Every structure is written in structure tokens, then in C-alpha cells.
A and B are shown apart, each in its own frame.
Chain A
Amino acid sequence: RKEVEQDPGPFNVPEGATVAFNCTYSNSASQSFFWYRQDCRKEPKLLMSVYSSGNEDGRFTAQLNRASQYISLLIRDSKLSDSATYLCVVKGSQGNLIFGKGTKLSVKP
């Protein structure tokens, strides 16, 4: 089983739609979780950390289910500017980040 797995997509949605991304991780001892966003030919940028109680930042909501080793990201009211690849990230034992391969989102007018 890969350490961090994501549906690669692409997800093609209209503006204003709600879209959800899911991610599973294999190491039950993992403590830190993040979502990064990567635009085409750019570096990954931190979107938000994921806390055990779930957390929200504007239109973005992240959830963590430790029992199922499952992380989710919900985007409400999608904008054209949300088009990007979303990377699920888990902190590894060396302090490095373990990245999923990413889920591509395309928001259409």
C-alpha cells in the first residue's frame, strides 16, 4: 500500500460547485497532515493544515479521520482560480513530508 494515496482525477466542475477530495495514508502513527496546492509549473504551496477536530478556512474545509486513516478537503462555491492540483501530505518519521501524487481540479465557467 502506498504511503499516501489520492484519486488523481481530473475533477472537472462548473463554477460554484462543491467538490471533495479524499486521501488515505498508511502510517497510523502519523501526526501531522496538510493540503498543498500546486499550480501548473509552479512550486507546491501550503493550503491548510488538517487538525483532528476538522478545520475551515473560508470556502475550504479539511477533515481528518484517524481511525480510518483518511483525510478530506471540501471546496465550496468553486472559483476558476481554484483550478490546480491538490496534494495530500503527511509528515514522515524523518520530519520530511510524504506527498500524494495529487488530484487535479479544473473549474470551468
Chain B
Amino acid sequence: DAGITQSPRHKVTETGTPVTLRCHQTENHRYMYWYRQDPGHGLRLIHYSYGVKDTDKGEVSDGYSVSRSKTEDFLLTLESATSSQTSVYFCAISEEVGRGRRETQYFGPGTRLLVL
């Protein structure tokens, strides 16, 4: 158990409203990530963070912003939700495991977002 929680777990909202998803970790990992998962696309990186107040864009960052004011929390905000942002959102943290310091990632339980 990597100690990752996400809130809310489910949300229904309307087009044009702002939405913030929260990822919380208990193990002080430096790197945190936000992905979305859609049928036919697999998991795609939205934004990631490599420390407090240090973030960068991923593959599908348009329409999303992030903030990390504390090590344990990584927030994903949809400033004005659109129907194309209906998806399952996963937060992840990374740590070094195994021989050769291979880096892998552990995922939170996900947030299912429906934008009507």
C-alpha cells in the first residue's frame, strides 16, 4: 500500500464549472503525477510534480492546471470543465525499487468524473 488517496472518488458536474481533484500521499515521495484514462487511449500524463511548487506539463495538459503547496498534496484543477474531460483520473507517486534503482510508480484508486 503506497498510502495514496484521491478525493472525491466520483463526481458529476456541469460543463463550464470548475472542478478540483485532490491527491494525498502519506509517504513523503518527491514525484507525483496526474493521469487520465479513456477507452482506446490508455493512460495519458496530464501534469506532474517534482517537488513543492515544482510542476511541469505532460502529454495532455490543455484545460488543466495543478498546484503543489505541500509535499503530501497534489491538486488537479479543471478551470472550466468540458464534456471531453469526462474520464477516470489517476494520481501516482514514484519511488525507487529493485536492483539498479529502477523507478516505478504506484497509483491511487482513481476519480471518476462525468461532465454533463
Contact = CB atoms under 8 A, between A and B. Distances in A.
Interface of A: 32, 34, 42-46, 49, 51, 87, 91-92, 94-97, 99-102
A34 B33 contact: no
Contacts of B102: 32, 49
A96 B33 contact: yes
Given A87-B42, A95-B31, A95-B94, A46 B48 contact: no
A43 B100 CA distance: 26
B42 A99 contact: yes
Nearest to B56: A94
Contacts of B103: 32, 91, 95
Contacts of A87: 42-43
A99 B98 contact: no
Main secondary structure of the interface of A (DSSP, over half): loop
Interface of B: 31, 33, 40-45, 48, 50, 56, 58, 90, 92, 94, 97-100, 102-110
> Most B CB atoms within 10 A — which of A45, A95, A96, A97?
A96
A49 B104 contact: yes
Contacts of B92: 97
B104 A99 contact: no
B99 to A, nearest CB: 8
B60 to A, nearest CB: 12
B107 A44 contact: yes
Nearest to A85: B42
Contacts of A42: 109-110
Contacts of A100: 42
B38 to A, nearest CB: 10
A80 to B, nearest CB: 23
Contact of A94 (B58, B105, B110): B58
